[in-house]
């Protein structure tokens, strides 16, 4: 292996794809500080800001997702953008000369690994969910290694290429030195009271937000404190509605939480979507959670992610359609049951797969050595 190790990492669209990608890049750098790493993302998506903020260069492609229904004439434009992206990524690969290409999911990942594989570059796929996406199933034939987080993935991928590694998580979640009391005080709340964190992922979640908005009086009268991350898209309208009601001192509202390590440390219970990266974080920190799977994802994969935990008594689940009326009651009941919290924490911790980023990084380096 030469000293000029070069690696392309592609994917994004949501924090659930971006955080693992950056974690893998950091783990590669820890092993090989001289490595040159180039990210490839989708123009207009959050990776175009988050990746440079993490210290890495990124190139953007005009690639985007298919529009439903699939026979929509608008998909002609989607197809044209994909072909344009293929041409662009071929030039990127030709100029950068990577030893390995890594795909973590998202619109750009398909075009990048498709082009890289055709040009003879070894490819590694990191599939985060318990139900493989269409893009990764298509790319599996061309991949040299497929890193997964769940059992039973041989129904989607060639068994001889599979390796169960878990999903990389944000290092600051594991490295926080705050105590629970310090974390709660950092949000201006009372360490003597139980605290529930409502978080809808990096983009926010309409249903989770609605489950709080409908029950503001219940929260106000409760002994429980609530930290509520609305997502930037929903924040302005939510603040308008809150300004029209009496202040709620035991409710902290924010559009985005930069220090999720502190937020998780403060929370006795988390309410969350069932994205694969979030679930991996909950497993590693042993955090009790009620999962509200998003219905707006391919193949309903978030429900499958959630059930992998629920079937092991490691999490609770609430259907999206039922959440606006029932989620808050379940949250208050659960957070006030020390026995339930202890059981959930113990069981979810058993499912943790630590050091995922380092394990995947070593597989990337092995592929680079074989090139």
**3-state SS, one letter per residue, for 64-93:** CCCCCCCCCCHHHHHHHHHHHHHHHHHHHH
Quick one: average pLDDT of 68-89? 90
The mean of the pLDDT values for the chain is 93
Say how many Å lie between the first and final Cα of the chain, rounded: 9
pLDDT band at 74 (very low <50, low <70, confident <90, very high): confident
Tell me what pLDDT residue 202 has: 67
DSSP secondary structure letter of residue 180 = H
Lowest mean pLDDT among 3-7, 159-163, 186-190: 3-7
| Helices 276-285 and 15-31, axial angle in degrees (round to 10) | 60
Res. 2: pLDDT tops 60: no
Whether pLDDT at 298 is above 80:
no
Predicted TM-score (pTM) of the model is: 0.86
Per-residue pLDDT tens over the stretch 34-56 = 999 999 999 999 999 999 999 99
Confidence of residue 331 (pLDDT cuts 50, 70, 90): very high
In whole angstroms, what is the distance from residue 185 CA to residue 140 CA?
47
In angstroms, rounded to a whole number, what is the distance separating the alpha carbons of residues 25 and 357?
A: 8
The Cα diameter of the chain in Å comes to 65
Report the 10 Å Cβ neighbour count for 161.
17
Euclidean distance between CA atoms 132 and 287, whole angstroms: 25
Confidence class for position 201, pLDDT limits 50, 70, 90: confident
Neighbouring residues of 270: CB distance < 8 A, sequence distance ≥ 6: 196, 197, 199, 264, 282, 287, 288, 289, 290
At 189, the pLDDT band (50, 70, 90 cuts) reads: very high
Question: What would the pLDDT profile of 84-117 be if each residue is shown by its tens digit?
Answer: 999 999 999 999 999 999 999 888 999 999 999 9
What token pair was written down for 205? 């979640």
Task: Tally Cβ neighbours within 10 Å of residue 243.
Answer: 8
Cα 328 → chain centroid: 24
Tokens for 1? 């292996």
Query: So what's the pLDDT on residue 371?
Result: 58
Taking 80 as the threshold, does the pLDDT of residue 15 lie above it?
Answer: no
High-pLDDT (> 70) share of the chain, %: 98
Task: State both tokens at 4.
Answer: 């000029």
Strands 145-148 and 100-103: unpaired
Confidence of residue 299 (pLDDT cuts 50, 70, 90): confident
CB 199 within 8 A of CB 271: yes
pLDDT of residue 165: 96
Collapsing DSSP to helix, strand or coil, 174 comes out as helix
- At 1 the pLDDT is 41
Task: Choose among 203, 212, 130, 119: nearest CA to 166.
Answer: 130
């Amino acid at each position: 292996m030469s000293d000029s190790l070069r690696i392309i990492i592609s994917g994004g669209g949501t924090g659930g794809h971006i955080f693992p990608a950056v974690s893998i890049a950091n783990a590669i750098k820890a092993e090989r500080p001289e490595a040159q790493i180039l990210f490839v993302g989708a123009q207009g998506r959050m990776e175009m800001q988050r990746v440079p903020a993490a210290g890495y260069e990124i190139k953007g492609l005009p690639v985007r997702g298919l529009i439903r229904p699939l026979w929509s004439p608008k998909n002609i434009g989607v197809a044209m953008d994909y072909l344009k992206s293929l041409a662009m990524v071929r030039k990127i690969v030709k100029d950068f000369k990577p030893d390995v290409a890594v795909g973590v999911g998202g619109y750009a990942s398909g075009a990048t690994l498709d082009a890289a594989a055709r040009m003879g570059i070894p490819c590694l796929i990191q599939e985060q969910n318990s139900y493989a996406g269409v893009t990764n199933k298509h790319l599996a034939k061309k991949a040299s290694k497929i890193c997964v987080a769940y059992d039973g993935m041989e129904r989607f991928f060639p068994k001889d290429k599979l390796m169960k590694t878990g999903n990389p998580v944000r290092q600051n979640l594991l490295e926080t030195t705050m105590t629970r009391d310090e974390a709660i005080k950092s949000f201006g709340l009372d360490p003597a009271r139980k605290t529930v964190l409502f978080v809808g992922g990096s983009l926010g979640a309409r249903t989770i937000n609605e489950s709080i908005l409908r029950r503001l009086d219940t929260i106000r009268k409760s002994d429980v404190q609530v930290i509520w991350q609305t997502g930037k898209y929903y924040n302005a309208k939510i603040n308008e509605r809150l300004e029209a009601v009496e202040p709620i001192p035991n409710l902290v509202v924010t559009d985005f939480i930069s220090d999720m390590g502190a937020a998780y440390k403060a929370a006795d219970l988390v309410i969350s979507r069932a994205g694969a990266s979030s679930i991996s974080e909950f497993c590693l920190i042993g955090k009790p959670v009620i999962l509200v799977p998003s219905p707006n994802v391919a193949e309903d994969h978030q429900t499958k992610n959630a059930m992998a935990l629920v079937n092991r008594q490691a999490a609770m689940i609430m259907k999206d359609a039922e959440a606006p009326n029932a989620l808050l009651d379940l949250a208050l009941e659960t957070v006030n049951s020390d026995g339930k919290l202890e059981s959930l924490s113990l069981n979810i911790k058993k499912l943790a797969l630590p050091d995922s980023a380092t394990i995947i990084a070593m597989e990337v380096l092995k592929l680079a050595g074989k090139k």
